Structure 1
């Protein structure tokens, strides 16, 4: 009788347990892949936003450099024009 139980556990139980474990592993792997994809999208969005912000800052810096090195009499008007520009955060 004990041999039949052992045989049943080996023939039926082990493959079932292995199949369930394999399914759990596949689902866990798929979840981790989705989490990594989501993190990559967030990182790309953040990088794009930072790049746009940096470009705006560089543009303002070029204007300020031009104003600082310009010997013209329009300096006050150009500074006021800069103040009138809407700030982007």
Structure 2
């Protein structure tokens, strides 16, 4: 009976070690005995990196908004009736020699 209990305990411990290794390898946070995060810890470097990424994200969002405004202006110009009429006149003139 004792060897069976030892075998089951060894399999359980081996499984725990394997799952912990896989979680660390793939970047998943580890949980402590009471569910608190053990890994990765929040260090000053991590917090600074989050601040930098947040700042970069805000800049990129502002740039994207600017590009959307410019695209809307270009679409308005292209779909304008006078622009279409000007293109038709130029096509009737023929190629420049």
Q: TM-score, normalised by structure 2?
A: 0.42
Structure ranking higher on relative contact order (CA contacts 8 Å, 6+ apart): 1
Which is strand-richer, 1 or 2? Answer: 2
Decide which structure has greater helix share: 1
